[in-house]
Structure 1
C-alpha cells in the first residue's frame, strides 16, 4: 500500500497539474540577460523586479569594462548580477585578477564564463582555460555558469562540444543553453548531456517577447560583425522574430512544461535573452504567471 501510494503521488506530480506548477516555479525564478548599452540600467530599474536574477553580456565592441560597469551599477541597486567573462577578451592573468577583485568589491558571487567571439590575442583561447585560471585564484564566485548548445555550433563539431562541456563541468555550477526553439531537441540534448556524466542543472535559454524592430535596433547597436556572429549561432532566430507580432516564447515553454525536474536529465530553470526589451519581456512573464495561476 505504501509503495502504491508513493507511486500515485509521483504520477500526480508528473501529471498536467504538476507540470503547470513546475512551469510556474520556473517562470517565477527566471533570469534575464541584458546587453551593456547606454540606457540599460534605467530600463531594468523601470521594469524588472529585484527578485529577477540578471546576467550582463560581454561585447567585443564595448569591452569588458562596459560589462563590469553595468554589473556594478545594477548590483548597487539591489539586483543579483552575473557578468559574462569572455576568455578572449581577458588578455592575461593580471587582468583576470583585476576583474575578480573589481567584482569582489561589487559583491558579485556569480559569473558566466564563455570563450567569446573576440579575436584571440591573449592567454585564454577558450572558456576552459579561463575557468582553470579562475580556480587558481581566491575568487568569490559560488555560482559559475557555462554554455550548452542543443542545436550545435556554427564552427565546432558535436564531438568537440561534448568533450568541451565534459571538461568544463567540474569547474562550474550550472549550464545555460544557447537559444533553441525546439522543446524536443532541448530535452533530447539534456538527456545526452546527462548520459555523458554531466549532472549540472541546465537553464534553458529562450528569447524574451521581443519585436522585430527592437531586434533591428539591437543589431545596429552591437555592430554588423557581432550581429552576424550571434545570428550564425542562433538557428532560425530571424525567421521567428521577423513576424508581424514578433516572437512569443510561450509555445516552446508549453513543450517543456512537463520536462523541468523530470528524470533522465537536469532541466531546472529558465534563462531569458531579453535583447534589452526588458519591458516587453517582463510584461509577457507576468501575463504568463497570471494565466498559470488562473488554471491552478
Structure 2
C-alpha cells in the first residue's frame, strides 16, 4: 500500500468532517440526531469495552452516515481468527476503512503487540479494507520516546492512507511538526485533532491522561485561551487558527478530526457556524 497524494482541504468546504465517538449507551441515536449524515464518524476502542463493542457500534451507525471508521486496537485483538472475524463483519456491512492503533492494554491479548504488527500482518492478506488510518503525536506520547514515535510513524506510513494527530491546543507547534514530517519525506495527508466542546475540568482530565502536558502549559500561559476554557472551551478558535494553512503543500492538511467526547449537542452548534 502506497502513500497517497495530498488532497486539498478548504476551510468551510470540508467534504469529510470527522467526528470521533466513544461507544456508549444510546450513542447511535444521539449521533443520528446531532450530526450531518455526510459526516465521517470514527469509533474508539477502549480497554473496558474492547474491539467487539467498537465493531457493533460501527455496524449500527453505518446505514445512517456516509462513512464509519472503527478503531482496531492491535493489543486487543485476541487472535488471527478474531481479526478475520472482525474484518469479515465489517465487509459484510460495507465498512471498508479502519483506524489502526496500538491500544491501551499493557499486555496484548493476542499476537499483535503494536499497531505496526497489525499493519504488517494485514499487508500479507487479502482483506478487502480499502483505507487505513494511523495516529500521530505532535506533542509526544506519555509512554513512548519521541525518537521511537518518529521512526514508528515512518514505518507505518507505507501501510496507511492518512494520519490523525492527537488533540492539541497549540497550532504553531502542530504546524511546525507537520513541516518537519514533510522534510523527513513523509507524504501522508494529516487530519488535525481538534478537542471538541467539553467542560474545562473534563477536558483537562482527558488531556492530562493522554499526555498532552505541553498543551496544558500552553493553555495556562495563554490568558485569552485560559479565560475561554473557564467559560467553556470553544473549538472554533483552533479551526480559525489553522484556516490560513489548509492549502499549503508543506503542511499537507486534509481536514479536521473532532474529538467529541460524546458532547454532540454542543458540537453541532459549532459546526452550524461552518458550512459542511
Does TM, scored on the shorter chain, surpass 0.5?
Answer: yes
1:65 aligns with 2:44: no
Paired position in structure 1 for 2:131:
143
Matches within 5 A, 1:168-247: 168-212=156-200, 230-233=209-212, 235-236=214-215, 243-247=229-233
Is 1:43 the counterpart of 2:30 in the alignment? yes
C-alpha deviation, 1:149, in angstroms: 0.7
Per the TM alignment, residue 211 of structure 1 is displaced from its structure 2 partner at its CA by: 2.4
Q: Deviations over 1:170-197 (max 9, x none)?
A: 0000010001111111111111111111
Query: Which whole-Å CA distance do the structure 2 matches of 1:154 and 1:78 have between them?
Result: 34
Residue of structure 2 equivalent to 1:256: 242
The structure with the largest helix share of the pair is 1
| Alpha carbons 2:192, 2:253 under 8 Å: kept | yes
Within 5 Å, give how 1:64-213 maps onto structure 2.
64-121=51-108, 122-212=110-200
**Inter-CA distance 187–229: structure 2 relative to 1 (3 Å threshold):** closer
d(CA) in 1 for partners of 2:214 and 2:233?
14
Moved more, 254-263 or 102-111: 254-263
* Distance in 2 of aligned mates of 1:253 and 1:243: 16
CA distance in 1, matches of 2:207, 2:245: 32
The answer to which structure, 1 or 2, has the higher relative contact order (CA under 8 A, 6+ apart) is: 2
Structure 1: 5+ residue runs without aligned partners? 1-20, 220-226, 291-296
Which residue of 262, 270, 276 corresponds with 2:256?
A: 270
Counterpart residue number, 2:270: 284
Cα RMSD after superposing both structures: 2.4
Go from structure 1 to structure 2 and tell me whether the alpha carbon gap of 1:58 and 1:242 turns closer, same or farther (over 3 Å shift): farther
